[in-house]
Structure 1
């Protein structure tokens, strides 16, 4: 007990009766300090001494257990898990048995974990700020792109339509017929331009018919616009409506994955597969493009492709889902979205 436990015996007034050898060594306790109270050999910090004296005074009949911080003569901080047990020696003669465990290393480990958690939290907050600013920047760029598309494309075509209508001379039937045919084609181009612009903003199928119909429409329209073979398969005949927030995020995630396959992967074939179970909706986007090194792109957070993957991971978290990315350079990429339903 002398050499294995940190223990001592004290009187109810805090004076020392006996200190075990192991405890004495930890506290540098010698016969020269034998006239000191227990609190005085335990720590040099006056506030801690008063706290220990208070505990002894208030808990000498009931006992006490807890963690205390002490500072030894070398100004080292030591944490002890201390138990104080009242022991009746004779009638009306009380002693207090103190048994301690040195938990300094555990406390250091806890502080290190707390420090790392704070660092991770700070890093995550900074990362969120970067993401938020990038999202705002991308939204602004997208709005400017659509405004330019409407102004330069649809606006000019409408102006051309107006002037062409005003220039028709009904007396010259042959030229009038030619202009009318031209105006028919121009009208179709304007309709196509309007559909493309509105399609990029918010597909009406999403609010009217749900995610399956909107993904089918998305793949059809992008296939027409790009000339690539983009196919959609509803493998389990999923037909449920989901919360609007979940549906728009699923749509944007799939749209992002397809656009990445078109823009970066240089693929000619893209397949979108949807399947579900009782608790999970799964969407897989496969392409036959050039693939990429996932780890290398993931490290380049400031690059466009790196931020694209980061946005994808952040968006899927909004709906409590998970994303899995598998890519082989020269063979293609598979992106899987799993969303609880």
Structure 2
């Protein structure tokens, strides 16, 4: 360890010069008069050595409000202080300083104050920039949520219109026809009445099928009664009969579990949407739904041999099918799952749904 006695005057002078050029510091008396101001501090504040006789608050800033704050901060202080301050230099440059005020006594026991500063202007500018970026990202997120909410409402309205159209075009027209048939029955003409009754039976049979079809599309009873596996199996059978396409369901790991109704409903709707998209937009002739599970994960994969598509282009254009994919992702995200879409033109499509079993 070196002793102060072993330091030569030249070394001490060099040491003081180094400190003078590298540190922002000032020494003031108990009246606020500057006793010493380091060269680095002078350079930062854009003042010369013959100007440093003014009170410290006038040297540090040209802003009157800042001068008043600094004067109150420094004078009549009974204990040390540290914090951040804003100052305005003679060139109207705004600087941020991290400042500490340290009370001390000289050899004559007179109180002096040592002011040490660090220039944190760049850090403050970065903080402001980061805050602006964060606010922009937050605003964009809020706007996205508003857009998505609007799209969800629109989709709900479209679904209501579709259900109303199904009821009007199918059930409504059949009921009207049955009404007219009943009103036209002439009991005195037995043969005509018999034919009318036969027609009414056929009409009622068609009506029952229409009601079952509409209610099945709304909520299949198998889903609430028996779970996702029987519901998907019934969906495949119904759609195969209705479309004449090759649609299959395979429960590879013989899964028999049940989930919360919200999870089961969203899983079912996403699979239903995927199959409908494959039939409606991809002109698929072969669709395979595969369900498998492990200790922690359930996977449902929907493969089709359809036309395929460019996922990025489709979602950017906001087409009806693109909106369908958007809502599929939203449904799966809502139940803490993940959905992956892989598709190429003329190469078919694979949609994979993964659900963590320990979170459902």
* TM-score where L is the length of structure 2: 0.81
1:223 Cα shift? 2.8
For 2:104 and 2:255, the matched residues in 1 are separated by 73
Of 11, 26, 43, the match for 1:25: 43
Q: Deviations over 1:264-293 (max 9, x none)?
A: 222222222333444443332222222222
2:98 matched to 1:81?
Answer: yes
Of 236, 260, 264, the match for 2:281: 264
2:80 matched to 1:66?
Answer: no
> RMSD of aligned C-alpha atoms?
2.9
For 1:333 and 1:259, the matched residues in 2 are separated by 13
In the alignment, what sits opposite 2:341?
A: 325
**Unmatched runs of 5 consecutive residues or more in structure 2:** 1-18
2:155 matched to 1:138?
Answer: yes
Q: Deviations over 1:241-265 (max 9, x none)?
A: 3333333222222222222222222
**Higher Cα Rg: structure 1 or 2?**
2
Of 108, 113, 122, the match for 1:96: 113
1:123 Cα shift? 2.4
- SS of 2:284's partner is coil
In the alignment, what sits opposite 1:43?
A: 61
* TM-score where L is the length of structure 1: 0.85
In the alignment, what sits opposite 1:238?
A: 255
Q: Deviations over 1:292-321 (max 9, x none)?
A: 222222333x33333333333333332233
In the alignment, what sits opposite 1:7?
A: 25
User: In the comparison of the two structures, how many residue pairs are matched?
Assistant: 339
Tell me, yes or no, if the aligned pair for 1:79 and 1:104 is still in contact at 8 Å.
Answer: yes
Quickly say closer, same or farther: Cα 1:337–1:17, change in 2 above 3 A. Answer: farther
**Unmatched runs of 5 consecutive residues or more in structure 1:** none
Tell me, yes or no, if the aligned pair for 1:12 and 1:56 is still in contact at 8 Å.
Answer: no
1:219 Cα shift? 2.9
In the alignment, what sits opposite 1:16?
A: 34
Stretch of structure 1 that moved more, 88-97 or 20-29: 88-97
Tell me, yes or no, if the aligned pair for 2:37 and 2:52 is still in contact at 8 Å.
Answer: no
